[in-house]
Amino acid sequence: MKIGIKNKQIDEDRFLKMREKVLSLWPTGKEVNLEEAIEYQKNLPESKSFFKVTERLRKEGRTVVFPRAGTPILEDEIKLCRTLVESGVPLIPVTTDSYSRSLRFKKVQESLEESIRTGREMLNGYPLINHGVKNSRKLVESCEGAFNPRTSRLSQGLGLEIAFASGMTAAATSPFALFGAYEKNATLEETFASSQHVYRLMGYYAERGPILTTDLHGWLSCGVYPWSVNISSMIIESLMAAEQGVRSIIPLVQCEGNMAQDLAWIRVTPKLIREYLDQFGYKNTILPGTFACQLPLFPVPQDMGEAFGYLNYMAMVGALAQVEAVSVRTIDEGAGVATPEAHALSYRSANWILKIMRDQKIQIEMKEVEAEERITEMEVRAIINKVLEMGDGDVLIGSIKAVDAGVLDSPFCPNVHVRDEVLGVKDSRGACRYAEFGNLPIPEEAKKFHREKLAERERKEGRKMDYHVAVEDLWAFSQGRLIGMPSSSSPASSIKPLAVAKRKPTVVTGTVGMDAHVIGTKVLSRTLRDSGFKVVELGCLTQPEEFIRAAIETDADVMLMTSLYGMAELDLRGFKEKCIEAGLGDVLLYIGGILAVGRHDFKEDEEKFKKMGFDRVYPPEADLKSAIKDLWNDLKAKEKA
């Protein structure tokens, strides 16, 4: 395997040449003057420094909410950010839209202009690059708070140039999160190269005074899964960032619902990151705080009361763990992109928990927490040691080889370069365990621990802990349960073939547009196969034209699309007409998920997409068993017609 990247700081001449190419991607790149931007950063008040705000929170013993939010129109984004500040949020997110993340800037501009003209939000975030430095400085100067944008592998170079020149002082830059949860075809080496460049940009600022913060997510699993790979990848990301001169690093620790395990992961992560940074000589790299994070890829309750419960569990974990911030999902997360009002209600609720619990300074000492810490440390050290061995001491080379070999691996991953040979389920107390280890270098002592915990649940339930249980467990926490239970309405219920056809009907599945949410289409694809269909699985980030090509090549009977990012209407305008032009007018069209930006009446979305030519339209909580019955019935009716 030929690898062209190393964990070595990019020299200044090469870095400045790289910047020229990045800034030429869109005209707003010309607004960035690096030296002027550094001076602008130096003159910002401390309240706008993500690093200094987090340090102050740690010294004062406070925990705040760190949300995700973004809306396309500048004035609406300003209103949203002011609403967040009024709700007690000093750390302000700027979530960019999905078209910006794929560099479709002309499409962004069209959609932005339509949003302004109609008053409807056509984009699912703030188009940072199209707004440029001038507008984004208006945003930063509009309220108190430290701004932190969310971008993508493709857009982070230009996006963060504009963000930092605008006065934003932090960014999410995790290469493993981008590679393992938001990319379909990019290699880990390509993702490393993109993040290495922005880390060098942050280091360039730091060398001249302004300390910019990177918050790291690590490899986000799309399923129920122990977080030893995630923590290992955050250590790798920290070493990578520090080598490029980044001075401030904040780990975001994902929580899966078992209190003992969540607390253990929050304790272990900064401890091990600090240890490895020191071991490799990066002692001047600071960890100003640790954030707890509500797992972004979990199903979120549709019911508002349950959604409040879900976010307040995370607030409770953050308060007990005494972290500096907790990232929670809004009450509207399961229904669409949240309104400013939903943000305000959600964070006022979380802040109530944080204030009441954090001031009590409760110290949690439990045998279960200690046991989880010990096992997690054992697994993380084994993984890091193997990665370093494979890279002859270079952590980036070792990581690339490790992904290829399955030494770093994750279930339900959207990226085609990942082995996906591991599987996690929950034990009887709701803690995540390995059901299948794949090629992870987990020590035998830890493997025995996981097997014994799963054996307890197997004895209680009288069934094997397998793939179907893993999917049930994924849905459980959002339904108010620690572990999954088989039921007729569960998306993971066993669905027997409903008919014996002369030939297997062919269904093309995938997540449409620039949407990276993949677990729904993966579960759906497997369930369809189990029900007697031939499935052509396109995965996430699938353009409408790819569906048409696949349907032609496979003589498909059905195209079944999922979408959770709210922009399916833009993606699929004129799609039925294109199908007819391609000779696919008789192919059934199904779609399901969150189909518009903001909370909507599903009936309106259903009517809209049926007018667009779709035969069936489903909400995100739709029962798969009923949907597959619909599909068989529609195919039978089509045969008789």
Say if residues 487 and 538 touch (Cβ distance below 8 Å): no
From the list 131, 197, 417, 517, the catalytic residue is 517
CA distances to 60, 289, 631 from 64, in Å? 12, 12, 47
Cα gap 420→403, rounded to integer Å: 10
Contact of 159 with 151, CB cutoff 8 Å: yes
Cβ(9)–Cβ(200) below 8 Å: yes
Show Cβ contacts of residue 624 under 8 Å, excluding neighbours closer than 6 positions.
491, 493, 495, 523, 524, 527
Q: How many other C-beta atoms are found inside a 10 Å radius of the C-beta of residue 106?
A: 11
Rounded to whole angstroms, how far apart are CA atoms 258 and 262?
6
The answer for residues whose C-beta is within 8 angstroms of residue 612's C-beta and 6 or more apart is: 569, 572, 573, 575, 576
CB–CB of 350/330 below 8 Å? no
CB-based contact 432:256 (threshold 8 Å): yes
Q: Give the E-state strand segments of 85-159 in sequence order.
A: 91-95, 146-150
Q: Which listed residue (215, 409, 420, 515) is catalytic? A: 515
State how far the Cα of 153 lies from the Cα of 302, in Å rounded to an integer. 31
Backbone φ/ψ region at 462: left (φ over 0), alpha (ψ -120 to 50), beta:
left
Q: Are 338 and 347 in contact (CB under 8 A)?
A: no
The question of whether 404 is a catalytic residue gets the answer no
Contact between residue 544 and residue 512 where contact means Cβ atoms under 8 Å apart: yes
DSSP 9: P
For 424-477, the three-class secondary structure string (H helix, E strand, C coil) is: EEECCCCCEEEEECCCCCCCHHHHHHHHHHHHHHHHHHCCCCCHHHHHHHHHHH
Instruction: Give catalytic status of residue 417 as yes or no.
Output: no
The amino acid occupying position 60 is E
Contact 540, 492 (CB under 8 A): no
Contacts of 519 by beta carbon, 8 Å cutoff, 6+ apart: 222, 223, 297, 412, 474
User: What distances in angstroms separate CA 58 from CA 278, 289, 299, one per listed residue?
Assistant: 21, 7, 31
User: Could you give the strand order of the β-sheet that contains 248-255, starting from the edge strand earlier in sequence?
Assistant: 64-65, 325-327, 291-294, 248-255, 213-216, 170-172, 146-150, 91-95
Are 38 and 206 spatial neighbours (Cβ–Cβ below 8 Å)? no
For the beta carbon of residue 120, count every other beta carbon within 10 angstroms: 13
* Contact residues for 367 (Cβ-Cβ < 8 A; gap 6+): none
Q: DSSP letter string over 552-577? A: HHHT-SEEEEEE-SS-HHHHTTTHHH
- Catalytic positions are 515, 517
